């Protein structure tokens, strides 16, 4: 079963969970060779299956209640990839829309 958790951009648990993945050259290549970034203004949605991170979506919170998805990563293919990405995006929408945020994506 896949669980989606939400962590603040500077949460120490975020670093422990994601460091091995976001420092992997293959994952960086999937992000157009651009490193992943975070800060106080970010909220990360992380998909975990069997105690392993299988995907994530960082969301940057900007002024005027604008939330921006700059990138994402899912460590799966085909139907499993669709399932994980759908769960992540549903979690983002559930967290931001009821609170009056506007969601945008640059990817």
For 30-80, the pLDDT digits (tens) are 889 988 899 999 999 999 999 999 999 999 999 999 999 989 999 989 999
pTM, 2 dp: 0.94
What is the pLDDT at residue 107? 61
pLDDT at 70: 87
Contact 54, 48 (CB under 8 A): yes
In angstroms, the Cα distances linking 84 to 4, 6, 11 are 9, 15, 22
Average pLDDT, the chain: 94
Residue 106 pLDDT class (50, 70, 90 cuts): confident
Give burial (CB, 10 Å; 0-12/13-18/19+) of 8: middle
């Amino acid at each position: 079963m896949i669980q989606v958790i939400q962590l603040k951009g500077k949460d120490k648990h975020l670093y422990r969970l994601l460091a091995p993945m976001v420092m992997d050259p293959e994952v960086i290549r999937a992000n157009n060779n651009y490193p992943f970034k975070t800060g106080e203004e970010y909220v990360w949605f992380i998909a975990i299956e069997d105690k392993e991170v299988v995907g994530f979506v960082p969301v940057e919170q900007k002024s005027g209640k604008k939330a921006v998805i700059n990138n994402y990563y899912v460590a799966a293919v085909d139907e499993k990839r669709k399932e994980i990405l759908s769960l992540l995006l549903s979690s983002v929408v559930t967290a931001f829309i009821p609170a009056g945020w506007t969601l945008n994506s640059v990817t």
